[in-house]
């Protein structure tokens, strides 16, 4: 799988998370190669979102290790072992992980351009003018060339989500996590967002995408993972997983998506 000379973009070992008495992640292992697009599917409550949030340590996992590009996230080496990363260390480690939220979470007081530029300026320390130029380039990659000076409230949901994607890619992270990026969108706006992700994926972006858009998963994924009850039940190429799922649970889940498009072979 992984060539010996290449460190995986993401390596997750034994990730578990419990909220109160509810276990939402059970001992999840996951490896993502550089350039790979991994799509995670599963019913709501299956732990997909928590998986992404624990990887980025927006949620601190109970147990398990997360490495991004060979570097630990959530812990730091000390003589004779490891200790939990401080908030400050975590902020630095997180720079290797981009995150696109279901509800966009753009900064409402900043223009589209500054939403993308602020990370470049404040986190990467790039001068204002250069940061804005670079931000404009990243916005172009998600097909936003107009509206750069508009506030999020003046943009459609699809435009907002594309700004959010540009904000993530602008930081040039090793991997980008997409948490149901189209679930909060009106149906007619879904396509423009998926198209943007598709183009970025084709351009070599490494990503883990949680989505309910099965035909998109089929087209864009190198690998599809089916999760249920906090665990990875089955994974494989889109052809295998959608065409001939081995696990009964996977088959039952996929039967919910009975549109002709989802049934057709890719």
Partner 1 sequence: MSIDWTIIETAIPLLARGTVVTLQISVVAGILACMIGFTLGLAALSNIAALRWIVAAYVDFVRGTPLLIQVFLVFFALPVIGIRFDEIWAGIIALAFNTSAYIAETVRGGVGSVERGQTEAAKSIGMFRWQILTYILLPQALRPMVPPLTNELISMTKNTSLLSVISVYELTRAGQAIISVHFVPFEIYLLLALYYYALIKALSYLSRFIESRMPAL
Residue 159 in the binding site for partner 1 (CB under 8 A): no
Which residue from 28, 97, 225, 241 is in contact with partner 1, where contact means CB under 8 A?
97
Residue 72 in the binding site for partner 1 (CB under 8 A): no
Residue 19 in the binding site for partner 1 (CB under 8 A): no
Residue 112 in the binding site for partner 1 (CB under 8 A): no
Residue 22 in the binding site for partner 1 (CB under 8 A): no
In the complex, the smallest distance separating the C-beta of residue 119 from partner 1, rounded to whole angstroms, is 4
In the complex, the smallest distance separating the C-beta of residue 249 from partner 1, rounded to whole angstroms, is 31
Of 112 and 171, which CB lies nearer to partner 1 in the complex structure?
Answer: 171
Of 94 and 218, which CB lies nearer to partner 1 in the complex structure?
Answer: 94
Q: What are phi and psi of 218, to 5 degrees?
A: -60, -40
Residue 171 in the binding site for partner 1 (CB under 8 A): yes
Residue 58 in the binding site for partner 1 (CB under 8 A): yes
Are residues 220 and 34 in contact, defined by beta-carbon separation less than 8 angstroms?
Answer: no
Residue 111 in the binding site for partner 1 (CB under 8 A): no
Task: Tell me, by CB under 8 A, how many residues bind partner 1.
Answer: 28
Which residue from 34, 95, 141, 191 is in contact with partner 1, where contact means CB under 8 A?
95
Are residues 87 and 41 in contact, defined by beta-carbon separation less than 8 angstroms?
Answer: no
Residue 76 in the binding site for partner 1 (CB under 8 A): no
In the complex, the smallest distance separating the C-beta of residue 123 from partner 1, rounded to whole angstroms, is 5
In the complex, the smallest distance separating the C-beta of residue 60 from partner 1, rounded to whole angstroms, is 12
The residues that touch partner 1, with contacts defined as CB under 8 A, are 56, 58, 87-88, 91-92, 94-95, 97-99, 101, 103, 105-109, 118-119, 122-123, 151, 153, 164, 167-168, 171
């Amino acid at each position: 799988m992984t060539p010996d000379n290449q460190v995986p973009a993401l390596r997750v070992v034994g990730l578990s998370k419990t909220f109160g008495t509810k276990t939402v992640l059970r001992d999840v292992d996951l490896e993502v190669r550089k350039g790979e697009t991994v799509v995670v599917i599963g019913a709501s409550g299956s732990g997909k979102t928590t998986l992404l949030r624990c990887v980025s340590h927006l949620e601190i996992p109970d147990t398990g290790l997360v490495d991004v590009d060979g570097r630990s996230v959530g812990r730091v080496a000390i003589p004779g072992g490891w200790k939990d990363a401080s908030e400050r260390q975590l902020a630095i480690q997180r720079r290797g992980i981009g995150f696109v939220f279901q509800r966009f979470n753009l900064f409402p007081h900043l223009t589209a351009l500054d939403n993308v530029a602020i990370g470049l300026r404040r986190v990467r320390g790039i001068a204002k003018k250069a940061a804005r130029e670079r931000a404009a380039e990243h916005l172009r990659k998600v097909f936003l060339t107009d509206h750069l000076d508009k506030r999020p409230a003046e943009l459609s949901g699809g435009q907002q989500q594309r700004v959010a994607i540009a904000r993530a890619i602008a930081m040039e992270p090793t991997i980008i996590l997409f948490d149901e990026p189209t679930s909060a969108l009106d149906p007619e706006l879904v396509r423009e967002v998926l198209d943007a992700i598709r183009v970025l994926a084709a351009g070599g972006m490494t990503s883990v995408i949680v989505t309910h858009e099965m035909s998109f998963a089929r087209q864009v994924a190198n690998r599809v993972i089916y999760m249920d009850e906090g665990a990875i039940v089955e994974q494989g190429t889109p052809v295998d997983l959608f065409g001939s799922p081995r696990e009964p649970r996977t088959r039952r889940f996929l039967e919910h998506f009975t549109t002709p498009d989802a049934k057709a072979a890719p």
